Amino acid sequence: MRLIPYALLILYPVAWFAPLMRAALLPIFGMEEISVVSGLASLWGTDPGLALVVTSLAIFVPYAKVIGLVMVDRGLMAPQVAPVLHHLGRLAMADVFLVALYIVLAKGAGGVTVETAWGLWLFTACVLAGLTARNPQPSG
């Protein structure tokens, strides 16, 4: 379990750029791959406020928790930050909910075809691994 945060330092950035889903207005026109980063880029162009929230929950919060766990493990941060890291981990699950919501909304639109891609599984695995990564116990 101690190696999970170290693995996530590499896997999270891969998951952000991996295709989460393929979408097309009509399947005959080909499918466009959508990743966390491409989805965020599109969102920044249409709704910067929502994009800030989603960027925070999908990228900054989970990665901050992972960095915190690694720093505690390496002795670079006091174990007393465990409650903060625990709360950061809970916020990170919001990104999987948002991706699922986007898929449901897109499938509900007429004429839209949406298929999940391998990146969705990787991204979900990263979030779940981040939730199961053992938080350091405060010494006392």
pLDDT per residue as tens digits for the range 55-107: 888 889 889 989 998 999 898 999 888 888 888 777 766 666 666 666 666 66
In a domain, 92, yes or no: yes
Handedness of CA 113, 119, 121, 127 (dihedral sign): negative
Q: Name the residue with higher pLDDT: 35 or 105.
A: 35
State yes or no: pLDDT of 15 exceeds 50: yes
Quick one: pLDDT band at residue 123, thresholds 50, 70, 90?
A: confident
Report the number of distinct structural domains present in the chain: 1
**What is the domain range of residue 23?**
4-132
- Asked if residue 137 is part of any domain, the answer here is no
pLDDT above 70: residue 139: no
Span 111-120, mean pLDDT?
Answer: 81
Q: Per the domain annotation, does 95 fall within a domain?
A: yes
- Sequence-distant (6+) residues with CB within 8 A of 57 are 91, 92, 94, 95, 98
Q: Is position 116 within any domain? A: yes
pLDDT of residue 29: 59
Q: Is residue 139 part of a domain?
A: no
Q: What is the mean pLDDT of the chain?
A: 80
Cβ atoms of 91 and 61 closer than 8 Å: yes
pLDDT band for 43, please (50, 70, 90 cuts).
confident
Instruction: List residues bridging with 21 in a β-sheet.
Output: 34, 116
95 vs 114, residue with greater confidence = 114
Q: What is the pLDDT of residue 138?
A: 47
State if pTM tops 0.75: yes
What separation in angstroms does the CA of 124 have from each of 8, 39, 82? 12, 16, 23
Question: Is residue 108 assigned to a domain?
Answer: yes
